[in-house]
Amino acid sequence: MKVDIVNGDISLMDTDAVVNAANNHLWMGAGVAGALKRRGGIEIEKEAMSKGPIPVGEAVATSGYNLPAKYVIHAAVMGQDLRTDEDLIRKATYNSMKVADELGVKSIAFPALGTGVGGFPLDRCAKIMYEEVKRYEKEHPDTSVERVVFVLYGDSAYRIFRDTLKEGV
């Protein structure tokens, strides 16, 4: 499995699926969710909310509507309190990989889960998410996912992810 790090806008990613850093009721506010909803259309949020609420740490998929990506995987990395932690980021990352695999996608783009509204440190997030992607690959050697892209918005976030993962990626 190839892992890349990109500085850019996740709503423009031409991967089979993109991940939304969601709350467990799946309403889409600001940050990544706002960018996906603006570019992809309000239908993403309507479909997502029809599938919620879901347990924090779980993930569900919707159509990508007007996005380049075919699917949006909504990873519930926080509850209604909009707080997250290491365990929830681990579960949300792993379960997003599982949903992607179930959909048969070959490529998936992740934002830095829980680091926006959730306030989780970027360097710790990078390490956790990378570990979970690699754990999923090890436990599911026949996975359909061939490429994982971590998409960071802004030079600072990109550098932190890149520097944290430079030995593993």
Alpha carbon 1 to its chain's center? 17
User: What residue has token string 């707080």?
Assistant: 83
Residue 69 belongs to what H/E stretch?
Answer: none
Q: What is the pLDDT of residues 43-73, one digit of tens each?
A: 999 999 999 999 999 999 999 999 999 999 9
pTM metric for this prediction: 0.96
Residue 131 belongs to what H/E stretch?
Answer: helix 122-139
At 169, the pLDDT band (50, 70, 90 cuts) reads low
Candidates 77, 59, 63; CA nearest to 16 is: 63
State whether residue 61 is helix, strand or coil: strand
78: pLDDT strictly greater than 70:
yes
- CATH classification for the domain delimited by 2-165, as one of 3.40.50.970, 3.40.220.10, 2.40.50.140, 3.40.50.1820: 3.40.220.10
In the chain, domain spans: 2-165
CA distances in angstroms from 165 to 53, 96, 117, 142, listed in the order given: 33, 20, 23, 24
- Of residues 117 and 74, which shows the higher confidence score? 74
